[in-house]
Amino acid sequence: MTAPAGIEPLFAISHNTLVVACGVAAVGCGAGVIGCFGVLRKRALVGDAAAHATLVGVALAFLATGRRDLPVLLVGGFLSGLAALGVLVLLRVCTRTRDDAATAIVLSVSFGLGITLVSGITARGIPGGAGLEQFLLGHTAALTTADAILLAAVSAAAVLLLVLSLKEATLIAFDSSFAAATGWPVAIMDYFLVALVAVMVVVGLPAAGAVLVTALVVIPPVAARQWTDRVPTMLLLSGVFGLASALFGVAVSAVVPRLATGPLVVLAAAFIFAVSFVGAPERGWWARHRRER
């Protein structure tokens, strides 16, 4: 029996596909864990600004090296993400633009710049440049084993750093003025937490793309919050939700060719969110509805 055209048989999963799936699952897990502090510190959109800005760095890194080498492109993306966050801070401090407006400006302008660069590269037919638009929506099928291992290692390192400083991060996210009065360097810790989010956004690019990767650091934490009243449990659940979403995206896009991974990951996360929002004990809509009756 032959498989229908366009769909590979499920059992022919290659070694590479398996490694890539594991790597992307690790990224989803890490993004879920790190994202918790973006959400708890009420900075959910900051990651989005960084994410949209990564495209500029990816394109510039490609232009500079002339190769589509994932580590190099991601370093470029990370640097331009950080630069965007720097501009965000400057806008706020120097022009007194409000937070939401500043975020929207940085996000749209840097994304516009990134798209211009990427489409320019594609239009001029620079060899190897055709694959760059995969960073827009995510495309895991193109990942190599080495790429996947790198992504997983960076995610693991980010999670390790956060878990080590969990006490400090929780204190600052909950009550920054008490933290400052008792001698903790609140500004430095804030930068550290935002930088961790930027790292996860960058390693999440192959899985979800610049447009959607923010969903990986926002949706799993918000869903996890529904089920628990403790930060450590929230981190754990959020990691599991992120992992499951990423795995779903990788699996479906591996089986159905030319389907971008990012939208699938986001849809899976949204499904988990919907279930959590309705069905979680105590905080869920259904439980609250029953209590009110």
Partner 1 sequence: MQPPPREPILEFHDVTVAYGRRPVLWNIDLAIDEPCLFGIIGPNGAGKSTLLKAALGLVPLAGGTVRFFGQPFAEVRGRVGYVPQRETVDWDFPVSVSDVVLMGTYARLGWFRRPGPQEREIARESLARVGLADVAGRQIGKLSGGQQQRVFLARALAQQADVYVLDEPMAGVDARSQDLIFGVLSELREAGRLVVVVHHDLPTAAQWFDRVALIDMRLVAAGPTAAVLTPQNLERTYAGRLDLLDELGRAVEERGRTS
Residues at the interface with partner 1 (CB under 8 A): 40, 42, 164-165, 167-168, 170-171, 173-175, 177-178, 180-184, 225, 228-231, 234
Taking the C-alpha atoms of residue 175 and residue 170, their distance in angstroms, rounded to an integer, is 9
Q: How far is CA 34 from the centre of its chain?
A: 9
Min dist CB 158 to partner 1, Å, is 17
| Residue 263 CB, nearest approach to partner 1 (Å) | 30
Q: How far is the CB of 168 from partner 1 (least distance, A)?
A: 7
Structure tokens at 47: 């990651």
User: Taking the CA of residue 182 as centre, how many other CA atoms within 13 Å lie in the half-sphere pointing to its CB?
Assistant: 8
Of 65 and 233, the one with the shorter C-beta distance to partner 1 is 233
Biggest CA-to-CA distance, the chain: 71
Interaxial angle between packed helices 145-164 and 166-174, expressed in degrees from 0 to 180 and rounded to the nearest 10: 70
Shortest Å distance, C-beta 233 to partner 1: 8
Of 96 and 124, nearer to partner 1 (C-beta) is: 96
- CB nearer partner 1, residue 227 or residue 248: 227
Q: Which residues contact 223 (CB under 8 A, 6 or more apart)?
A: 237, 238, 241, 269, 272, 273, 275, 276, 277
Packing angle between helix 186-203 and helix 166-174, nearest 10 degrees?
110
Q: How far apart are CA 15 and CA 138, in angstroms?
A: 21
Interatomic CA distance for residues 163 and 253, integer angstroms: 32
Q: Which is nearer to partner 1, 55 or 231 (CB)?
A: 231
In the bound state with partner 1, the residue whose beta carbon lies nearer, of 100 and 229, is 229
Q: How far is the CB of 188 from partner 1 (least distance, A)?
A: 12
Shortest distance (Å) from residue 128 CB to partner 1: 44
Residue placing its CB nearer to partner 1 in the complex, 139 or 225:
225
Q: Give the contacts of 283 (CB within 8 A, at least 6 positions apart).
A: 225, 226, 227
Query: Minimal distance in Å, beta carbon 175 to partner 1?
Result: 5
d(CA 159, CA 157): 5
Secondary structure of 67-130 in HEC code, one letter for each residue: CCCHHHHHHHHHHHHHHHHHHHHHHHHHHCCCHHHHHHHHHHHHHHHHHHHHHHHHHCCCCCHH
- Contact yes or no for 217/155 (Cβ under 8 A): no
Our CB check for partner 1 shows the closer of 2 and 182 to be 182
* Distance in Å, CB of 266 to partner 1, minimum: 24
